[in-house]
Amino acid sequence: MLDALSARFESIVKKLRGTASISEKNIEETLQDVRRALLDADVNYQVVTDFITVVKEKAIGAQVLLAVSPGQQFTKILHDEMVELLGRAAAPINWKPGGQTVIMVVGLQGSGKTTFAAKLAALLKRKGKNPLLVAADIYRPAAAEQLRILAEQASVPVVTPVENDALQTALAGVARGGKDHHDPIILDTAGRLHIDQEMMGELVRIREQLNPSEILFVADGMTGQDAVTAAREFQRQLDFHGVVLTKMDSDSRGGAALSIKAVTGKPIKFIGIGEKLDALEQFHPDRIASRILGRGDIVTLVEKAQEQVEAQDAEAMAKKLQNATFTLQDFLAQMQVIKKMGPLEGLMKMIPGVGSKLGDMDLDPSRLAHTEAIIYSMTPLERARPELMNGSRKKRVALGSGTTVQEVNQLLAQFFQMREMMKQMSGSKKVGPKRMKPRRKKGKKKKR
């Protein structure tokens, strides 16, 4: 799935990974590569332009995380924006509260509606629902038979055409569903080669009569921009709720997947990944972005670094150091960062000018458990002003934490040494998070 696109991104990311520093020039170059990769994948031109603009803004305004390389950080920005483009979170089916849910399946001819209707019925049946399929495609004689065969494979009952009329068939489906307590009722409709006013009118009438809580537009994932154009038109005339992309198992270029949410404002809810009944997946934007970008460790690593910066805010920490208000509580927080991120990758290293000086310090995370126990056994006052720790306090803390006075002494010595070192370093120069580049002037608002 999306192999060509992810191969392109793989090489872009690889190139970035080797980049020691990020300048406006190599951001520009990389974005050119990204733009070309997206356009070659048949992503909508406006979508590509907006995407590039946002990524560029973020890359230039990003706070540098010293624990990761700029290339890694840039990859993370790309990843996040791609998730955003794809719809951020997985979108579930709209169930009708307290009632029978009608799901209407629409789309162009051959896009995969009938197959999807049956796959969805099979999926929901596996989840304990009691679906009913309705063949509201009265134009092709073989259509109802196709659905009947698939329904049989899924062991789901099916309503076949009534009076050779799509609306009557749909109504018969709802009546049967009510009588036999089916939920949901899944309506397969006729395809059309192009947008055709007569058939569109029929769909609108069915929608008005049945008021489905879910109308799903099925798009052939292989057709790129054509699918997007059709989606826009269906959206305008029928106002569907979600999109299904089919044939994502084939070497679809990905253009439809990457454009359709941005163009229609409607989420992709499912993807079809094969002809078989079980070849249906719920759509997860982050998983697809990861497939395209080869998420690997980079995103996780940068996320961790960001989490820590957000939790601790390097700037506030730097101020504390300058004012020598660095407490044992802060010390503990930093040790915990180190535990999460692994030795010497912690917050200390993210404070400009501090990281390199820490190399020889003992920050063994395996000793963190003791450190934590000791600090937790202290009163808030003692944590804020460790110099208060006299013999009797140390004895109490050692007893409370199941350690020895010697260990308490060691920890305090380490803390005082660190604080002293930081005071010296931070006193001489201004510390605080750097930026990759100065922020743009205000007024040049980004468009999203």
Ligand X SMILES: Nc1nc2c(ncn2[C@@H]2O[C@H](COP(=O)(O)OP(=O)(O)OP(=O)(O)O)[C@@H](O)[C@H]2O)c(=O)[nH]1
Q: Which residues bind Mg ion (CB under 5 A)?
A: 113-114
- Asked if 321 contacts 431 with a C-beta cutoff of 8 angstroms, the reply is yes
Q: Strands of 158-159's sheet, edge to edge? A: 158-159, 132-136, 185-189, 102-107, 214-220, 242-246, 268-272, 280-282
Question: Minimum Å distance from CB 33 to ligand X?
Answer: 30
- Sole window of 5-13, 208-216, 235-243, 245-253 interacting with ligand X (rule: CB under 6 A): 245-253
**Closest by Cα among 81, 65, 64 to 9:** 81
- Is residue 109 part of the contact set for ligand X (CB under 6 A)? yes
Q: Does 252 bind ligand X (CB under 6 A)?
A: no
CA nearest 218: which of 185, 256, 274?
A: 256
**Residue 230 token pair:** 């059709």
Smallest gap from Cβ 112 to Mg ion, in A, equals 8
Question: Smaller CB distance to ligand X: residue 6 or 115?
Answer: 115
Member of 137, 345, 382, 407 binding ligand X (CB under 6 A): 137
User: Closest CB to ligand X among 222 and 298?
Assistant: 222
Residue 260: CB minimum distance to ligand X, A: 16
Other beta carbons within 10 angstroms of residue 323's beta carbon come to 10
User: For the chain, how far is it from start to end, CA to CA, in angstroms?
Assistant: 28
Using CB under 6 A as the binding rule, the residues of this chain from 156 to 195 that contact ligand X are 191
How near is the Cβ of 150 to Mg ion at its closest, in Å?
10
CA distance 16 to 298: 12
Which residue has the closest beta carbon to ligand X?
191
Stretch that binds ligand X, among 199-207, 246-254, 312-320, 387-395 (CB under 6 A): 246-254
* Minimum gap (Å) between residue 115 Cβ and Mg ion: 8
> Residues 67, 305: contact at Cβ < 8 Å?
yes
Instruction: State yes or no: residue 274 binds ligand X (CB under 6 A).
Output: yes
**377 is a site residue for ligand X (CB under 6 A):** no
CB of 297 to ligand X, least distance (A): 31
Contacted entry of Mg ion, ligand X, none for residue 109, CB cut-off 5 to 8 Å set by kind: ligand X
Which helix (H) or strand (E) covers residue 219, if one does? strand 214-220
Q: Which amino acid is at 270?
A: F
For ligand X, the closer CB: 69 or 223: 223
**Quick check: 285 binds ligand X (CB under 6 A)?**
no
Q: Does 246 bind ligand X (CB under 6 A)?
A: yes
Nearest to 101 by CA among 191, 203, 169, 178: 178
Close Cβ partners of 2 (under 8 Å, ≥ 6 residues apart): 41, 248, 252, 253, 254, 257, 288, 291, 292
**Cβ pair 257, 248 in contact under 8 A:** yes
Decide if residue 282 touches ligand X (CB under 6 A). no
Nearer residue to Mg ion within complex by CB, 116 or 326 = 116
Q: Indicate whether 247 belongs to the interface with ligand X (CB under 6 A).
A: yes
State the binding partner of 246 from ligand X, Mg ion, none, CB within 5 to 8 A by kind.
ligand X
253 lies in the binding site for ligand X (CB under 6 A):
no
In this structure, what token pair is assigned to residue 197?
């006013």
Q: Which amino acid is at 46?
A: Q
Query: Is 107 or 242 the residue whose CB approaches ligand X more closely?
Result: 107
Point out which residues bind ligand X (CB under 6 A): 107, 109-115, 137, 143, 191, 246-247, 249-250, 272-275, 279
